[in-house]
Amino acid sequence: MLFINYEEIKMRQHANPLSKVFKDIQPIPPLKEIFNDFTKPLHLDIGCGSGDFLMNLAKNNKNWNYIGLEIREKLVIKSKSKLKDESIDNLFFAYGNAEYLIEDCIGKFPVDVVSSVSFNFPDPWFKKKHHKRRVVQPLLINKISQLMANGGYISIKSDVEELFEYMDLIITNSKIFNTYIYQDSEIIHSYNPINLKTNREMYVTRKKLKVLDRIYKKI
Ligand SMILES: C[S@@+](CC[C@H](N)C(=O)[O-])C[C@H]1O[C@@H](n2cnc3c(N)ncnc32)[C@H](O)[C@@H]1O
């Protein structure tokens, strides 16, 4: 079994989202209980890892709200404790399998509240028999679309070409989202206007590996 040392928290490198232990989630509270101003545009980062990327985003873009969803509880506990020290009021970290967390928000969140969603460098689960453990699945894309207004965005990034093509196929096959290229003038209004990088993206960039990315717009 592979272990990863994330800022001194020892844990399994990959969590199997289909395991029974991940049937339980800690539901995301109503937005008005977690944000100072819940009417701001809302971004969800699925598989947010250590949370550093979202902390930076939230500090730099006070006109957005952010929720990070993460299946490894120790990372969420650590992220929440960093958040307390920083007094940031536009960021929340949620523990659980993203599929169940999102499902729980349908009917609880205001209609069409989510402006954008990111999947940054999801776990690749290389073996074919493990593809069903990959986080991007038709059901999740459908559930996300139920929280999002037309014109909302999904962004995917990966350094694994086969996984990237797999995610692309699932999202385009949904017939809910079309591939989209931001106009220059739109980037400033996106969830990540100054192109901050996640920990994985910084690592991949240092190693001079190729980053594949694509944006989809809800039609
Ligand atoms: C390779 S890491 C990337 C972390 C971060 N996005 C980055 O770019 O540095 C993938 C993350 O997704 C999380 N994850 C995997 N499946 C998930 C699921 N079904 N729901 C929520 N998080 C998940 C993993 O625990 C892990 O932290």
Ligand 1 contacts (CB < 6 A) are 15, 17, 46-49, 69-72, 97-98, 120-123, 135, 198-201
Measured CA to CA, the distance from residue 90 to residue 76 in angstroms comes to 16
- Residue 1 is predicted with a pLDDT of 40
Asked if residues 4 and 49 have their Cβ atoms less than 8 Å apart, the reply is no
Has 52 been annotated as catalytic?
Answer: no
Measured in Å, residue 190 CA sits from the centre of ligand 1 at 22
Q: Which atom of ligand 1 is nearest to the CA of 201?
A: 8
The residue to mutate among 75, 123, 160, having the most atoms of ligand 1 within 8 angstroms of its beta carbon, is 123
**Identity at 101, one-letter amino acid code:** L
Structure tokens at 179: 């591939």
Against a cut of 0.85, is the pTM above it?
yes
pLDDT at 217 over 80: yes
Domain range 40-218, CATH class: alpha beta
pLDDT, residue 21, reads 86
Question: How many angstroms is it from 29 CA to the middle of ligand 1?
Answer: 21
Q: Give pLDDT tens digits for 147-168.
A: 999 999 999 999 999 999 999 9
| Kind plus residue range of the DSSP H or E element containing 213 | strand 212-218
Average pLDDT over the chain, rounded to whole?
A: 93
For residue 148, give every residue at least 6 positions away whose Cβ sits within 8 Å of its Cβ, in sequence order, or none. 112, 114, 115, 117, 218
pLDDT band per the 50, 70, 90 thresholds, residue 3: very low
Exposure string of 122-136, with b = 16+ CB inside 10 Å and e = fewer, is bbbbeeeeeeebbbb
Give, for ligand 1, the residue of 46, 155, 197 to mutate: max count of ligand atoms closer than 8 Å to Cβ: 46
Ligand 1: residue whose CA is nearest its atom 13: 47
Q: Which residue's CA is minimally distant from atom 16 of ligand 1?
A: 135
